Amino acid sequence: MILTEIKLRLLSIACFLGITALVSAQERFEYQGPLQVQNYTGDALYSYKIVENDTLLDGPFQLKRSSLQALLEKQDISFLFKGKFTDGVATDAWRFQFGEFQSDSQSNVVNFEYRVLISGRQEEGSGDLKNGKPDGLWTYQVNQIKDSEKEKRLFKSDITFENGVPQRNFQIENEDVILVGRFLRNGLAHDEWTSYNVNVIENTESWFFEEGLLRKIQQIDEDGIEKDIPVYGINEDDYEIINLDKDFIEVLRISLGPGQISESFSEGLPNVLAANAGYYEKIDGILSKLGTSDFKPKFKVQVPSFPLDTLEQANLKILVTEYKKAEEISKSLLNNSHLNILKRSDENTQFYYNCIAKIQKDFLDPTKDFVRLGRRDLLQFIKRDTYISRIWSKTRPSTVINVSIDSIGTQKSFLLPNASDLDFTGNDIATIKQLVSYANLSLNSIKNKLSEQLFNAEQEQELIDLEERLILKNEALMEQIDSVKATLPIEYAKALQNIQNLADESLSKYALIEDSKEKFQYGTIINNCFTHLSNLSSSVAELPTQVIEIDSLYQDSVWNPFMAVLMDEDVKKRLTSAYKKVLVPYFLKTASQELNCESIVVLENEIQGSYQKMLLLREEDTKKLERKLRREENPKTIIQLFNVQPIKAEE
């Protein structure tokens, strides 16, 4: 008895310990099967756990895809993502491979293996992650592969990170440029960054950073002559840390003025950085989908900052909007083919056309970059007064727009009323805003003046086009009807002739209209009508075939024991009789009577709807419908019973 009690106690303790162990240790599951991450669908193998109903990746992870069949058939797009997660965050060593391969479909047997040589392109990024951020050396390579060997390196970047921040020396290269440089511990560019042109080794450009601030650019040309370009001083009030990307290069280009930095550097450096950023973004996209990740190379630089005050911001906003409107009007008018033709014959139009071209050239083209920088919030990093003073190298445009209107150079001026108080001489945003606003108002005014001439010319052209379409459609209709009329019974021919008559009458009526506006309106209506007439004539011409089709559809094959032959037996006779004896004659009668553009749409719909319904009813239980159809002679009721959806006249 005592022994039993001890056993029970031991058992309950064991149970308690077991349950506690189960509760405290979160269970890890393993998944093996298909998985899609972004556009990558492949075979996955990973561990995960469930925390508060959320699936958290935890443990080794692998997702891969490759298809030998696809490779042999055309091309295989393969990939492999391999690494580890801890509590849903990517950690430790990771490898990302992306491949696009083709094969010449020839195989060799080597050591009991079939080998297929592949050619194409492979990308591979590898390195360590800590808390989802790159940590340590990350290498990303893109290679061109030929016959399973590396043929050419298309891209390579070696960047060392610490907790996601780039550190120490780095090297990025593509086919044209090699860029080497250094970062401080906080990720700011520092010391000398040099880019070599791979093809011309002597031609180098070095950028000298001091804690992220680009102090000078040194260029050495092919003859070994050095040229120093000072960039940012250290005497500005305010500095800001921004990413070293295309925006920075843009700011730099504007700040230095045209022709200061070499094409190769200004193109090559951002390109190589953008390519690198693209590859990192690709990995970031995949990791973010799987868990938390912050995988972006943050190359930082410092730039002087000239913040916009509230008024400047408000002006910039208006300026951007007005520029967009002005640009739209200018482009649409300059590219308007009618206007281009009209200006040759009309002096006034020629004048306005030249005004638009001048506004585009003097007002809009020069301010294009300014507006773009404004849109991208980059004006705050640019000394605006210097920049604006450089925009118009010669004279600034004035409110009086002088253009020549003939070959001998006769001048004519355009000036908006109340424009005398406008002043375009300042070097601030307000001036640019005034200038762009004036351009916009001028363009609007010109557009209004031209619109009537333009409308008339356009309408005339449209009318000609419309007439051509009408004639083509009428001819096509005539041809269509003539080709079938002779082969069909008289009642069909009569209906088709009536359809043709309606088309002819409509054209005659159109021809008699004199007012062009009215003519255009009526022409548009009958153009639409002609389409329906063509459809209706097809429907009428197809009716005999459809009746035969319905006839054979509504037949069962029955074995006649007295004749020992199979015979066709008509089934659902009330349906076929309603269709053949009531509806078809009604369709033909309606088509042979007075038609108009509204009634043809309805009739066409009834013909097609009834036919389609007959096709469907063969297999349906129609006992109820057949009862209702008994002795029904009214076609409209039958169409209603067939549940043919009425069509709205305007459709």
Partner 1 sequence: MKKLNKSVLPAIFLCFICTISRAQETEEQVIPIESKYKEPVTKMWFNTYGKIRISKRLFWDAQTHFRFDETGSVNHIGQIAQIYNRHALGYIYSKKVNFSLGGVLRINFNTDFESEDRNVVPEFRIWHQYQFAQEVYRAMIYHRIRIEHRWTQSFKENSEYIYRNRWRYMLRAKVPLNHDKLKPKTLYISPEAELIMQSGKTVVASPLEDLRLTTTLGYILTPRLTVAAGFMYSMGQDLKNGGIYKQSYTGRIHLYYSPDFRKVKNKLPEIHLND
Q: State yes or no: residue 560 binds partner 1 (CB under 8 A).
A: yes
Nearer to partner 1, 311 or 566 (CB): 566
Nearer to partner 1, 460 or 556 (CB): 556
Q: State yes or no: residue 568 binds partner 1 (CB under 8 A).
A: yes
Q: State yes or no: residue 556 binds partner 1 (CB under 8 A).
A: yes
Residues in the chain: 651
The pair of structure tokens assigned to 107 is 């195989």
Instruction: Say which amino acid occupies 504.
Output: D
Write down the number of H helices and E strands in the chain: 17, 20
CB of 571 to partner 1, least distance (A): 10
CB of 474 to partner 1, least distance (A): 44
Q: State yes or no: residue 448 binds partner 1 (CB under 8 A).
A: no
Q: State yes or no: residue 634 binds partner 1 (CB under 8 A).
A: no
Three-state SS string over 596-637 comes to CHHHHHHHHHHHHHHHHHHHHHCCCCCHHHHHHHCCCCCHHH
Contact yes or no for 212/234 (Cβ under 8 A)? no
Q: State yes or no: residue 345 binds partner 1 (CB under 8 A).
A: no
With CB under 8 A as the rule, give the number of residues binding partner 1.
14
Location of structure tokens 């013909």:
607
Nearer to partner 1, 15 or 558 (CB): 558
Stretch that binds partner 1, among 127-135, 153-161, 555-563, 600-608 (CB under 8 A): 555-563
Of the residues 17, 471, 472, 567, which one makes contact with partner 1 according to CB under 8 A: 567
Q: State yes or no: residue 559 binds partner 1 (CB under 8 A).
A: yes
Instruction: Say which amino acid occupies 468.
Output: E
Beta partners for residue 182, in sequence order: 169, 190
Instruction: Say which amino acid occupies 234.
Output: I
- Contact code string over 84-113 relative to partner 1, x by CB under 8 A: ------------------------------
CB of 588 to partner 1, least distance (A): 25
Nearer to partner 1, 114 or 562 (CB): 562
Of the residues 479, 561, 631, 636, which one makes contact with partner 1 according to CB under 8 A: 561
Contact yes or no for 231/219 (Cβ under 8 A)? no
d(CA 165, CA 135): 8
State the number of CA atoms in the 13 A half-sphere of 331 facing the CB: 8
Nearer to partner 1, 32 or 560 (CB): 560
Contact yes or no for 138/125 (Cβ under 8 A)? yes
Contact yes or no for 143/156 (Cβ under 8 A)? no
Helix (H) or strand (E) run with residue 44 in it: strand 40-51
CA dihedral (349, 355, 360, 361) positive or negative:
positive
Q: State yes or no: residue 620 binds partner 1 (CB under 8 A).
A: no
Q: State yes or no: residue 562 binds partner 1 (CB under 8 A).
A: yes
The pair of structure tokens assigned to 28 is 């890890």
CB of 620 to partner 1, least distance (A): 13
Stretch that binds partner 1, among 462-470, 565-573, 612-620, 627-635 (CB under 8 A): 565-573
d(CA 112, CA 323): 70
Instruction: Say which amino acid occupies 185.
Output: R
Helix (H) or strand (E) run with residue 255 in it: helix 246-256
Nearer to partner 1, 111 or 557 (CB): 557
d(CA 259, CA 570): 90
The region that residue 409 occupies, defined by phi over 0 for left and psi between -120 and 50 for alpha, beta otherwise, is: left
d(CA 646, CA 93): 67
Of the residues 557, 630, 648, 650, which one makes contact with partner 1 according to CB under 8 A: 557
**E strands along 66-212, which residues?**
76-86, 89-110, 113-130, 133-146, 149-162, 165-174, 177-183, 189-197, 204-210
Q: Which of residues 126-145 bind partner 1 (CB under 8 A)?
A: none
d(CA 359, CA 356): 5
Stretch that binds partner 1, among 35-43, 161-169, 291-299, 551-559 (CB under 8 A): 551-559
Q: State yes or no: residue 564 binds partner 1 (CB under 8 A).
A: yes
CB of 65 to partner 1, least distance (A): 47
Three-state secondary-structure class, residue 135 = strand
CB of 626 to partner 1, least distance (A): 14
CB of 627 to partner 1, least distance (A): 17
CB of 623 to partner 1, least distance (A): 11
Of the residues 22, 464, 558, 616, which one makes contact with partner 1 according to CB under 8 A: 558
Nearer to partner 1, 448 or 557 (CB): 557
- The β-bridge relationship of strands 565-570 and 555-560 is antiparallel
Stretch that binds partner 1, among 429-437, 445-453, 504-512, 559-567 (CB under 8 A): 559-567
Location of structure tokens 């001890």:
6
Nearer to partner 1, 594 or 619 (CB): 619
Q: State yes or no: residue 548 binds partner 1 (CB under 8 A).
A: no
- Contact code string over 569-598 relative to partner 1, x by CB under 8 A: x-----------------------------
CB of 550 to partner 1, least distance (A): 17
Of the residues 23, 565, 594, 630, which one makes contact with partner 1 according to CB under 8 A: 565
d(CA 643, CA 463): 41
CB of 570 to partner 1, least distance (A): 8
CB of 561 to partner 1, least distance (A): 4
User: What phi and psi, each to the nearest 5 degrees, are found at residue 608?
Assistant: -70, -40
Q: State yes or no: residue 192 binds partner 1 (CB under 8 A).
A: no
Contact residues: partner 1, CB under 8 A: 556-569
